[in-house]
Chain A
Amino acid sequence: MLLNQFLILAAFLFCTGAYGVLARKHAVLVLMSIELMLAGVNLNLVAFGAFHNSELGQVFALFVLTIAAAEVGIGLAIVLLIYRNLHSADLDDVDTMKG
């Protein structure tokens, strides 16, 4: 298998995730899109690791997974609090910092 097949797939995942972060209204969907971006990155890392016969890629991907998990926890907590205060999970409504 060629390397750039994996990279293309990872890029595809990443861009899909980026699109989702930028364009979705619902906060949970944005979080899901972030997960997608992270997945793409993980795939990239593992692909490079496998290609160079190094376990360093997988180690790094493990780190990323851990942080993703923690981040999701906190992210959901924030979304929950936003819903409690604004009675809506729509990100367009969170504009208190508007200048």
Chain B
Amino acid sequence: MFFLDYAWLVPLIPALSFVVILLFGKRMPRHGSEIGIVAVGASFVLSCGAAIRWIMRVQDAKSADAPVLPVLHHVTWFQNGGVRLTAGIQIDGLAVMMMFVVTIISLLVHIYSLEYMRGDRRYTYFYAALSLFTASMLLLVVADNTLQLLIGWELVGVCSFMLIGHWWEEKPNSDAALKAFLTTRTGDIGLLTGVIMTFFVVERATGVGSFNIIALNAAASNPGNRVGHTLILWCALALLLAIMGKSGQFPLHTWLPDAMAGPTPVSALIHAATMVVAGVYLGARVYPVFFHGLSIADGGINPMAAVGGITVLIGAALAFVQDDIKKVLAYSTISQLGYMVMALGVGAWTAAVFHLFTHAFFKADLFLGAGSVSHSGSHHSFDMKKDMGGLRKYMPQTYATFVIGSLALAGIFPLAGFWSKDEILANAGFDNYKLFLVIGLIGAFMTAAYMTRCVYLTFHGEYRGAHDPHAIGPADEAEHDPIDTEESIELDVHLHPPHESNRLITVPLWVLSFFAVFAGFLNFPHFSKFERWFQPRFPAEFAGLPTLAHPAAFNAILAAISVLIAGSAIGIVWAYYQGKLPQGLSERNAVAGAGKRFLVNKYYLDYLYENIIVAGIKGPIAAGVYWFNQNVIDNVLNYTGRGARALGQFTYDYVDQKGVDGLVNEIGTITGDSGGEVRKLQTGRLQFYALMLVVAVVIFAGALWIFA
């Protein structure tokens, strides 16, 4: 049980490697990348071990429905009156699956970056940031309490900011990093309030507040009278806001396309496979809160499914009008995240998590493929229309892996995406959520269509980039580090003709393609290992989630329909590009043109956010606050100052000069005057003194005579 009990090593090793790279990376022969790779490799091995151990644990359970308890370890770091704050691990199927995904994709990205980021101006910090990100994401994933999850969540947000802004010397990159951070921060308001509210949910249910996830799930599964449905509803809505921010759901999705300003390995790791799915992971982890709070069992429409469904459609629509290949993939990611959230919203827990699993592989495959194209094919440009085209002749491996990834994404049998997407559709269709089935099918159509467009523009047709070694190369949308070091000038001559990439790039692509092809079979109907191994089966929680225990069965008709839809989309787009369909519709038709402009401007959402909401807050409120500051606050201060001065003057004149000084002077005067009087006794004359003596003696004698 070493791998499960010591699973806390998995986040720890990359965290240590972060520190080591920062301290020693620059001096090492490979500038720190070797430390990063060794560390993530070690984490990967431990995660594989944990996964295998967990699977064995599940297989050892007595029956298919018997509970399999997660492995729990924790350390209490603060305790006060029954409330215990812990740092711990909860290793169950979901955690193990996520650990595997995060570490393998991180490892492949590390290897890929050896070639892609060669000669970069901040190579060592890049690897340090990658290690930190991996550690944070793993911390989030193994967390057994929502507080630790929140810490990991914020840390991955910071790492995302650091990595998107890796080339921060160019302002658009740092703007994009800020936009990403601030937009997800808006969602984090929801996370913070949600975590606080869930603490009190547990307190109401058990009497002692706690952040523990298992306690939360148990409390949420039996709302009863003590907790109350309304509180759980508010928790679910708050956490839904967090998911919207982090997982790029409408309307907080605007940061994801801009985040493509970061290096491509970062996009693959963070914005495709791991960080953005943190929201979906949160949904899966505390699913009873959502299930009971949003009444998912009832069918119809609920906020989570609605948000997911809208995101599917708008993401897919936007992917059609992008010229930048990475932006197509970014919108595709938004759309697929929409699928996952929609799946959670319709009660299809296993389908959502399975889609998360397969999506990580093929989306990372696509992103790394796009990076390969830019690195070796289009002179570091991502513009499909200007600099790509016809690359399948020059880059066969990249082409093959990219096509595999695209087909997987489109959901073509028998690749991975088919199984996971089909499971979502099946669950939507058969749990009173027919509207979302329709949305899912439309989304599938659009997915296949835009990916075909992307593949065609990139790899087919005529090469449109400049490759004449004597011509001046294009500089627009260049992503590679513009400040070249000595080394890199030799290695990456700008105007070489397109060629296949280095093995360091293509091997990760093939590994990911392998998973894109075969990962889906884990949940082959009646084989259903994914479901068996990774679905939670803790008895107290998840009571009352019928679809979770028995997800909808595989429906061959629906599967056939979805493949048909995807295939027809591919066919239609292919025909369009072959010239067989009417071209230039958006130029000739005003409505179509307006629609396209609407899409190109990203629904004017950015305009809304920046010019209306932010400016509206900045302008009048700032002016008002400034007026208040100058006239009210400053006046208060000024008059206070003047009053103090007047008081001081009065005190000086009357109390100090006249009062205190007068008193002291009077005492002196009295002393002097009385002294002057007494002085008169000192006449200096002998006989006077003698007279005094006699008088005293007489008085004493008299007194003695009277009283004695």
Q: In the complex, what distance in Å separates the CA atom of A18 from the CA atom of B682?
A: 21
A1-9, A46-54, A62-70, A87-95: which lies at the interface: A87-95
The residues in A between 44 and 81 inclusive whose CB is less than 8 angstroms from any CB of B are none
Q: In the complex, what distance in Å separates the CA atom of A92 from the CA atom of B688?
A: 9
A99 & B687 in contact (Cβ 8 Å cutoff): no
* Residue B694 is within 8 A (CB to CB) of chain A in the complex: yes
Q: In the complex, what distance in Å separates the CA atom of A92 from the CA atom of B684?
A: 9
**Interface size bracket, A side:** 10 to 19
Extra contacts, 20 of them, besides A91-B686, A97-B684 (Cβ < 8 A), are: A18-B694, A21-B687, A21-B690, A22-B687, A22-B691, A22-B694, A23-B687, A30-B687, A91-B685, A91-B687, A92-B685, A92-B687, A94-B685, A94-B686, A95-B685, A97-B682, A98-B684, A98-B685, A99-B679, A99-B681
* Residue B683 is within 8 A (CB to CB) of chain A in the complex: yes
Residues of chain B within 8 A (CB-CB) of A99 are: 679, 681-682, 684
Cβ-closest chain B residue relative to A30: B687
The residues in B between 521 and 552 inclusive whose CB is less than 8 angstroms from any CB of A are none
* Residue A96 is within 8 A (CB to CB) of chain B in the complex: yes
Q: In the complex, what distance in Å separates the CA atom of A97 from the CA atom of B681?
A: 11
Question: Separation in Å of the A88 CB from the closest CB of chain B?
Answer: 14
Residues of chain B within 8 A (CB-CB) of A96 are: 684
Residues of chain A within 8 A (CB-CB) of B694 are: 18, 22
Q: List 5 A-B contacts (CB under 8 A).
A: A21-B687, A23-B687, A91-B685, A92-B685, A94-B684
Cβ-closest chain A residue relative to B697: A18
Question: Separation in Å of the B431 CB from the closest CB of chain A?
Answer: 119
A22 & B690 in contact (Cβ 8 Å cutoff): yes
Q: In the complex, what distance in Å separates the CA atom of A33 from the CA atom of B679?
A: 29
Contact pattern, B 664-708, Cβ under 8 Å of A = 1, otherwise 0: 000000000000000101111111001100100000000000000
Cβ-closest chain B residue relative to A93: B685
Question: Separation in Å of the A34 CB from the closest CB of chain B?
Answer: 10
Binding site for A on B (CB under 8 A): 679, 681-687, 690-691, 694
Residues of chain B within 8 A (CB-CB) of A97 are: 682, 684
B682 & A98 in contact (Cβ 8 Å cutoff): yes
Which A-B residue pairs are the 3 nearest by beta carbons?
A: A99-B682, A98-B684, A95-B684
Residues of chain A within 8 A (CB-CB) of B679 are: 99
Question: Separation in Å of the B682 CB from the closest CB of chain A?
Answer: 3
Q: In the complex, what distance in Å separates the CA atom of A7 from the CA atom of B679?
A: 40
Count chain B CB atoms within 10 A of each CB in A18, A22, A30 and give the residue with the most: A22
Q: In the complex, what distance in Å separates the CA atom of A99 from the CA atom of B678?
A: 9
Question: Separation in Å of the A77 CB from the closest CB of chain B?
Answer: 16
Cβ-closest chain B residue relative to A97: B684
A98 & B687 in contact (Cβ 8 Å cutoff): no
Q: In the complex, what distance in Å separates the CA atom of A96 from the CA atom of B682?
A: 10
The residues in A between 17 and 32 inclusive whose CB is less than 8 angstroms from any CB of B are 18, 21-23, 30
Q: In the complex, what distance in Å separates the CA atom of A99 from the CA atom of B675?
A: 10
Question: Separation in Å of the B36 CB from the closest CB of chain A?
Answer: 100
Question: Separation in Å of the A38 CB from the closest CB of chain B?
Answer: 15
Q: In the complex, what distance in Å separates the CA atom of A91 from the CA atom of B690?
A: 12
Q: Known interface pairs A18-B694, A22-B691, A22-B694. Does A98 touch B683 (Cβ–Cβ under 8 Å)?
A: yes
Q: In the complex, what distance in Å separates the CA atom of A95 from the CA atom of B681?
A: 12
Q: In the complex, what distance in Å separates the CA atom of A98 from the CA atom of B682?
A: 5
Residues of chain B within 8 A (CB-CB) of A91 are: 685-687
Q: In the complex, what distance in Å separates the CA atom of A94 from the CA atom of B685?
A: 6
Q: In the complex, what distance in Å separates the CA atom of A69 from the CA atom of B227?
A: 121
Residues of chain B within 8 A (CB-CB) of A21 are: 687, 690
Cβ-closest chain B residue relative to A98: B684
Q: In the complex, what distance in Å separates the CA atom of A98 from the CA atom of B694?
A: 20
Q: In the complex, what distance in Å separates the CA atom of A12 from the CA atom of B697?
A: 17
Residues of chain A within 8 A (CB-CB) of B684 are: 94-99
Q: In the complex, what distance in Å separates the CA atom of A18 from the CA atom of B679?
A: 26
Question: Separation in Å of the A54 CB from the closest CB of chain B?
Answer: 26
Q: In the complex, what distance in Å separates the CA atom of A23 from the CA atom of B691?
A: 9
Count chain A CB atoms within 10 A of each CB in B682, B686, B694 and give the residue with the most: B686
Q: In the complex, what distance in Å separates the CA atom of A88 from the CA atom of B690?
A: 20
Interchain CB contact (< 8 A) of B683 among A18, A23, A30, A95: A95
Q: In the complex, what distance in Å separates the CA atom of A95 from the CA atom of B689?
A: 11
Residues of chain B within 8 A (CB-CB) of A18 are: 694
Question: Separation in Å of the B187 CB from the closest CB of chain A?
Answer: 96
Q: In the complex, what distance in Å separates the CA atom of A82 from the CA atom of B686?
A: 13
Q: In the complex, what distance in Å separates the CA atom of A96 from the CA atom of B686?
A: 11
Cβ-closest chain B residue relative to A25: B687
Question: Separation in Å of the B181 CB from the closest CB of chain A?
Answer: 91
Q: In the complex, what distance in Å separates the CA atom of A37 from the CA atom of B647?
A: 74
Q: In the complex, what distance in Å separates the CA atom of A44 from the CA atom of B541?
A: 127
Q: In the complex, what distance in Å separates the CA atom of A98 from the CA atom of B679?
A: 9
Count chain B CB atoms within 10 A of each CB in A18, A23, A30, A99 and give the residue with the most: A99
Residues of chain B within 8 A (CB-CB) of A95 are: 683-685
Residues of chain A within 8 A (CB-CB) of B685 are: 91-92, 94-95, 98
Residues of chain B within 8 A (CB-CB) of A23 are: 687
Cβ-closest chain A residue relative to B681: A99
Residues of chain A within 8 A (CB-CB) of B683 are: 95, 98
Question: Separation in Å of the B601 CB from the closest CB of chain A?
Answer: 108
Residues of chain B within 8 A (CB-CB) of A92 are: 685, 687
Count chain A CB atoms within 10 A of each CB in B679, B681, B684, B691 and give the residue with the most: B684
Question: Separation in Å of the B674 CB from the closest CB of chain A?
Answer: 14
Question: Separation in Å of the B663 CB from the closest CB of chain A?
Answer: 28
Q: In the complex, what distance in Å separates the CA atom of A91 from the CA atom of B689?
A: 12
Q: In the complex, what distance in Å separates the CA atom of A13 from the CA atom of B683?
A: 28
Residues of chain B within 8 A (CB-CB) of A94 are: 684-686
Residues of chain B within 8 A (CB-CB) of A98 are: 682-685
Q: In the complex, what distance in Å separates the CA atom of A94 from the CA atom of B694?
A: 20
Q: In the complex, what distance in Å separates the CA atom of A99 from the CA atom of B683?
A: 6
Q: In the complex, what distance in Å separates the CA atom of A27 from the CA atom of B443?
A: 141
Q: In the complex, what distance in Å separates the CA atom of A91 from the CA atom of B684?
A: 10
Residues of chain A within 8 A (CB-CB) of B691 are: 22
Q: In the complex, what distance in Å separates the CA atom of A97 from the CA atom of B691?
A: 16
Cβ-closest chain A residue relative to B685: A95
Q: In the complex, what distance in Å separates the CA atom of A22 from the CA atom of B681?
A: 16
Question: Separation in Å of the A22 CB from the closest CB of chain B?
Answer: 5
Residues of chain A within 8 A (CB-CB) of B681 are: 99
Residues of chain B within 8 A (CB-CB) of A22 are: 687, 690-691, 694
